[in-house]
Amino acid sequence: MDLHLNGRTYVVTGGSSGVGLATVGLLLSEGARVITCARDLSRLRSAVEALPGAERVHAQSCDVRDPAAVASLIASGTERFGGIDGLVNNAGRSRMATRAEATLDDWHDELDLKFASVLNTVDAALPWLRRSDTAAIVNINAVLARQPEIRLVTTSAARAGLLNLTKSLSLELAPENIRVNTVSLGLVDTGQWRRRYEESGTAQSFAEWEAQIAADRGVGLGRFGRADEVAAMVVTLLSPRSSYVTGADLDVCGGVARYV
C-alpha cells in the first residue's frame, strides 16, 4: 500500500536508536525526508548514515527541553527541505523509582522531559504544519498512562499527563486540519531493556529473560515488541491514509493492557 509519504518531510525526535531510529528508517523507505535529532550527534549520525536514503536526513544535536535548541533544529531543517508535514515526538525514557524513592527533583525532571519535549517541538513546527495539506503529529507514549506501575511512579504520572495533553492538542488543532494522535507502548526491545538485561547478572539468554518478564507483566503475546513494529503504526498515523483519525490512542503492547 502506498502511504503517500514520498517527497514529504517529517521531524522525528530521539532518532539515534530504538523506536525513533526505526521510524526514521521506515519514513526513508517510503521516500520521505526526515529532520531528526538527539543529544549525542556523533551517535545519531552513525546510526542514520547506515540507513538507505540517508542523504534525505537532516541530523542535528538538540536537547528537546531547550526551546532555543528546538527552534534551531526546525529552522535549519526547513531551510534545507522547505517545510514540515508531520512531527513524531519520541524523545523520552522511563525512570525506575517508587514514590518513596523519587525525589522532588526527579518529579520535576520527568515532567519537564515529557511535557517540554512536546510543547517545544509543536510550537516550533506549527507554522510549517499549517502550510501542509496532510499535517499530523504523533506522540510516543506508554500504556503506563492508563495502567500505572508503582516502580515507575514518576513516569506513569507524566505519561498520563501526556495522554491528556495529546487529546487537548487534537481538539485545538482539528479546525486547522492538523491531526494529533498517540502511540502507547508496552514492553519494547530497546536499549533500555538490553541494559537492564546486562545489569541483571542472569545466566538466562535474553530470549528466556524477556519471556519471563513478559509472562510476569501479563503480555498476551509472550514477548517484547520490536521497534519496527511500533514504527509501522507511527508511520501509518502520519500517512494521509489516516486522514480521519485524530485524538486517538493506539496501543502497541502485545496485549498487556488490562483496561477497556
Q: Where are the domains of the chain?
A: 9-187+226-252, 189-224
3-state secondary structure of 94: coil
3-state secondary structure of 224: coil
* Cβ count near 199 (within 10 Å): 8
| pTM for this model (two decimals) | 0.95
Which grid coordinates belong to 11? 521531524
Cα–Cα dist 108/102, whole Å: 10
CATH number given to 9-187+226-252? 3.40.50.720
Angle 140-144-146 from CA coordinates, rounded to 5°: 105
Selection from 99, 94, 123 nearest residue 110 by Cα: 94
| Torsion over CA: 159, 161, 165, 168 (sign) | positive
Computed over its alpha carbons, how large is the radius of gyration of the chain? 18
Please report, in tens digits, the pLDDT of each residue of the chain (260 residues total).
899 999 999 999 999 999 999 999 999 999 999 999 999 999 999 999 999 999 999 999 999 999 999 999 999 999 999 999 999 999 777 888 899 899 999 999 999 999 999 999 999 999 999 999 999 999 999 999 999 989 999 999 999 999 999 999 999 999 999 999 999 999 999 877 888 899 999 999 999 999 999 999 899 999 999 999 999 999 999 999 999 999 999 999 999 988 87
Which grid coordinates belong to 231? 514504527
